[in-house]
Structure 1
Amino acid sequence: MAAFMVMTPPASGDPVSDAVKTAFVKDGFSWAALFFAPLWALYHGLWLVLTCWIVISLAIGAVGDFFSMGAGQVLSLAFSLLFALEANQLRRWTLQRRGWQLSGVVVGRDREEYERRYFDRLLAAGQPQDDPSTPAPERRRAEPPRARATGTGVIGSMPTPRGA
């Protein structure tokens, strides 16, 4: 089972369109980003990430030409693995820069399961997330527990002063 971070778009006022646009970003390694990094970044609309990937790839190529082919291949493989490890976090970071909010984390085996879990939990809450028309429930401030009165006047290891 994989964990997915649920990213919701900035509220447009229409809960149905917001639900359709909700993005589920896998937490972990991305095989697609390992083998098809530029296409993966284009597919997700990560223009800044794609630009940085191109610049770093060109720099690695220049380093490989300067030293030897073996060094360039090792650096290229290491960069590809690092990119695949961090690709989904870069996607989440880009969505947050665009105003999307982290709405929760769900776990599931496949797309149908994790989407069903998230939307069932959302419906069980009784209201769409971030709906400005519904008032927030009142929250009472938790009061600290009160000590029971005992004849010794000692709570724990510290006695209370006499006459207090």
Structure 2
Amino acid sequence: MTTASYLILTPPGEPAAAEKAAFIRDGFRWTAFFFPAIWLLVHRLWFWGVLALVAQFAASALSASPQLGVAGWVLSLAISILTALEGPQALVRAREAGDWTLRSVVTAPDLETAEMIYYGAQETPDKTTAAALPASDTSTKATRPPALGLLGYDGD
């Protein structure tokens, strides 16, 4: 069974346990690979979607040329791979620009399990359990996960 990382963001002004939290799976997206511009536009990443569309038209024009056919094919493949790998991070960055808060990163086999893990951790423990636990940093602001698909790389 494979696991994935889910980035959990909450809307502006909402608490960490908000039911409106967005769970964004960080990983390769096949739909973004096959339809990069459409995928970006559907997810309201307008600038990147238009840029990908223009680049795809350029790749098609290059592919029509006998001398630059390979360059067009490579450009098209590069757009697809880049969108499939970095599309989820673009979604996170766009939400953060809209004042959404990155609350946590959860590793789980599916979305339902990720929701159970995240919301289970948000429940307040009873007083006896809270008294037995050592004091720790309770900030809910999570650090940004690594980009470029390097999920196991922690920056060291």
Q: CA deviation at 1:71?
A: 2.3
User: In structure 2, how many angstroms separate the alpha carbons of the residues matched to 1:125 and 1:89?
Assistant: 32
Question: 2 CA distance for matches of 1:53 and 1:96?
Answer: 22
Match of 2:13 among 7, 11, 21: 11
Note the aligned Cα RMSD (angstroms). Answer: 2.7
Change (3 A) 1:79 1:43: closer
* 1:82 matched residue in structure 2: 82
Aligned length, in residue pairs: 126
Match of 1:22?
21
Residues 50-72 of structure 1: CA deviation (Å, up to 9, x unaligned) = 12211222233344345432321
Q: SS in structure 1 opposite 2:107? A: strand
| Matches of 1:97 and 1:10, distance apart in 2 | 11
Which runs of structure 2 are paired with 1:30-41 in the superposition (5 Å)?
30-41=29-40
Where 1:105 maps in the other structure, the secondary structure is strand
Q: Quote the Cα distance in structure 2 between the aligned partners of 1:79 and 1:42.
A: 14
* Closer, same or farther: CA 44–21 of 1 in aligned 2, 3 Å: farther
Tell me, yes or no, if the aligned pair for 2:62 and 2:69 is still in contact at 8 Å. Answer: no
Unaligned runs of 5+ residues in structure 1 are 127-136, 140-164
Identical amino acids, percent of aligned pairs: 36
CA distance in structure 1 between the aligned counterparts of 2:125 and 2:76, rounded to whole angstroms = 47
Moved more, 113-122 or 60-69: 60-69
Secondary structure of residue in 1 paired with 2:44 = coil
TM-score (ref. length: structure 2): 0.68
TM-fit CA distance, 1:95: 0.9
Cα displacement string for residues 53-109 of structure 1 (whole angstroms, at most 9, x for unaligned residues):
112222333443454323211221122112211111111111111111110111111
Distance (Å, rounded) in 2 between the aligned partners of 1:39 and 1:10: 27
Query: What do residues 116-162 of structure 1 show as CA deviations (whole Å, max 9, x unaligned)?
Result: 10011111368xxxxxxxxxx9x8xxxxxxxxxxxxxxxxxxxxxxx
Partner of 1:51: 50
In the superposition, the TM-score normalised over structure 1's length comes to 0.65
- Residues 125/31 of structure 1: CA separation in 2 closer, same or farther (3 Å cut): farther
Q: Tell me if structure 1 keeps the 8 A contact 2:43–2:91.
A: yes
1:96 aligns with 2:80: no
Secondary structure of the 2:28 match is coil
8 A contact 2:35–2:80 mirrored in 1: no
| Unaligned ranges ≥5, structure 2 | 127-134, 138-156
Hey, what does 1:152 align to over in structure 2?
none
